[in-house]
């Protein structure tokens, strides 16, 4: 490190966002790009700990102190190489990861932690800006062919790793464009799709074949190995009285429609989900619910409320979740800052309708029932398990996920699974980890080492 006491002199900088009044009029990225100078200052706060807990707190095991040190000394290309070893999609995690590494940062014990996620994003964006990210096809090809079913973060990271090993990789995607949940499930104000497209274009040039608009319902033939990475897409429903009323939708249906509109698709008016002029209630207090809040505000909702069945989390780290654990604390997203009423410890008991459409929710808090007006209700209650693959005749675990052994192989030889389809609903960074590790096991299997 250039100055091991730099963290005493430089304070953590806050993320700069575009003004709410400006960003609510569009779906562009809400974050203002950070300067290279600011990145140099913030990476210098890293203490190069003897035991880097940030590394252990990160699912993919990013070499955080090492690439921080490289940036401090102006060695951006070295920082990029270190970053790319453990993560093939740092431009995605740098925008979307909840930064578990920062909660494990040693500096965070008695000060604000290092801005690890933003440092990561700065490195990869610097690399793209300077033309350092170029197609690198494998120097030697094997004769092995691998099919990846699903092009979300797990599928793409698995494909990239296997292609790098020299195998011929074909990725099948049921949607019309590659990206899975990153493409249509995450709003552009968090992830502009040009970010995704530029990486996919590089992988195409490296030799990965993408087949879209293809819903794989049985094991494809002609491949030496198959990896299933379709995600966990069956939503959790709220089966209460009045659920059949119009105006009640799953979060993913709502977000997919919005993302397609932003991408320029022309959707039929029948079946359209639009918050304009409506009183919107989002049931579910997680990140997907927050995405729905931000989307509803941009569509011109007259009011937006987000309700959660659990109690309001603490604003500070709870005593039973000490450092370096990832704490369950109150999160305030940019979507909430743009305008949203948040309520906690609320149970939704019934939907009340008028002329076949929802008009009210009957809720209960601490035994006291009350009503909430609503024209549009979004269910953001998480996901249960993958879509059924009965035709594949694969063994499932007790949660309905595809069961695998320690080598990511399913009950059928040569068929592997990774990501949410295997471990259940989780974070994008975990999906990337799953995909890369599954690729290693598939490579061992193909080359006779597994």
Q: Please report the pLDDT score of residue 449 as a whole number.
A: 66
User: Position of tokens 């990206």?
Assistant: 179
Q: Residue 10: its pLDDT value, please? A: 94
Q: For residue 168, what pLDDT is reported?
A: 97
Alpha-carbon distance values, 390 to 73, 269, 394, 398 (Å): 55, 34, 7, 15
Q: Do domains 145-233+384-446 and 237-381 have the same CATH topology?
A: yes
pTM of the model: 0.95
Listed residue (428, 426, 385, 393) closest to 410, CA to CA? 393
> Model confidence over 64-76: pLDDT tens digits?
999 999 999 999 9
Up-side HSE of residue 293: CA atoms within 13 Å toward CB? Answer: 24
Q: CB burial class (10 A; 0-12, 13-18, 19+) of residue 430?
A: buried
The alpha helices in 302-355, defined as continuous H runs, are 334-337
Check residue 218 and give its pLDDT: 80
Domain 237-381 belongs to what topology? FAD/NAD(P)-binding domain (3.50.50)
Architecture of domain 145-233+384-446: 3-Layer(bba) Sandwich (3.50)
List the beta bridge partners of residue 376.
Answer: 280
Q: How far apart are CA 238 and CA 251, in angstroms?
A: 12
pLDDT digits (tens, 9 = 90+) for 287-297: 999 999 999 99
CATH architecture of 6-129: Orthogonal Bundle (1.10)
Report d(CA 129, CA 132) in Å as an integer: 8
| pLDDT in the model for residue 106 | 95
Token duo for residue 439: 């690729």
pLDDT in tens, 108-141: 999 999 999 999 999 999 999 999 999 999 999 9
What residue ranges of the chain have pLDDT lower than 70? 1-2, 390-391, 449-450
| Interacting residues of 255 by C-beta distance below 8 A, sequence separation 6+ | 184, 185, 186, 187, 288, 291, 292, 295
- DSSP letter assigned to residue 257: H
pLDDT of residue 221: 86
Q: Determine the 3-state secondary structure of 390 from DSSP.
A: helix
Q: Which pair of tokens denotes residue 401?
A: 């996920």
Q: Where are the beta strands (DSSP E) in 174-298?
A: 209-211, 225-228, 234-235, 248-250, 279-283
Domain boundaries, given as residue ranges, for the chain: 6-129, 145-233+384-446, 237-381
Nearest to 7 by CA among 63, 47, 56: 47
């Amino acid at each position: 490190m250039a100055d091991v006491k730099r963290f005493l002199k430089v304070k953590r900088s806050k993320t700069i966002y575009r003004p709410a009044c400006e960003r609510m009029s569009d779906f562009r990225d809400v974050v203002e790009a950070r300067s290279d100078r600011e990145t140099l200052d913030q990476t210098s706060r890293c203490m190069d700990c003897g035991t880097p807990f940030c590394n252990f707190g990160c699912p993919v095991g990013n070499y955080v102190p090492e690439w921080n040190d490289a940036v401090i000394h102006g060695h951006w290309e070295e920082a990029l190489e270190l970053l790319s070893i453990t993560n093939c999609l740092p431009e995605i995690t740098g925008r979307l990861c909840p930064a578990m590494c920062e909660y494990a940062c040693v500096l965070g014990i008695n000060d604000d932690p290092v801005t690890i996620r933003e440092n990561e994003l700065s490195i990869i964006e610097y690399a793209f800006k300077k033309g350092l990210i170029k197609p690198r096809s494998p120097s030697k090809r094997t004769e092995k062919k691998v099919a990846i079913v699903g092009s979300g973060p797990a599928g793409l990271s698995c494909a990239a790793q296997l292609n790098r090993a020299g195998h011929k990789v074909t990725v099948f995607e049921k949607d019309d464009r590659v990206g899975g949940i990153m493409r249509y499930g995450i709003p552009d104000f968090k992830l502009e799709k040009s970010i995704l497209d530029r990486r996919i274009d590089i992988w195409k040039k490296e030799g990965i074949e993408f087949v879209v608009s293809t819903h794989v319902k049985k094991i494809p033939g002609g491949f030496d190995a198959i990896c299933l990475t379709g995600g966990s897409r069956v939503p959790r429903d709220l089966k209460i009285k009045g659920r059949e009323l119009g105006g009640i939708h799953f979060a993913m249906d709502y977000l997919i429609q919005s993302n397609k509109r932003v991408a320029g698709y022309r959707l039929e008016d029948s079946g359209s989900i639009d918050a304009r002029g409506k009183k919107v209630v989002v049931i579910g207090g997680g990140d997907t619910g927050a995405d729905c809040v931000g989307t509803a505000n941009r569509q011109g909702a007259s009011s937006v409320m987000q309700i959660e069945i659990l109690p309001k989390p603490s604003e500070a780290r709870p005593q039973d979740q000490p450092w370096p654990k990832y704490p369950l604390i109150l999160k305030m997203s940019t979507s909430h800052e743009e305008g949203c009423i948040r309520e906690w410890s609320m149970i939704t008991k019934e939907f009340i309708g008028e002329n076949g459409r929802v008009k009210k929710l009957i809720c209960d808090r601490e035994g006291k029932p009350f009503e909430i007006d609503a024209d549009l209700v979004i269910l953001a209650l998480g996901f249960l398990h993958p879509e059924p693959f009965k035709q594949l005749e694969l063994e499932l675990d007790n949660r309905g996920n595809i069961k695998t052994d320690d080598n990511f192989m399913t009950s059928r030889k040569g068929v592997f699974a990774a990501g949410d389809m295997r471990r259940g609903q989780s974070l994008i960074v975990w999906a990337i980890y799953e995909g890369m590790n599954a690729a290693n096991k598939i490579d061992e299997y193909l080359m006779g080492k597994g």
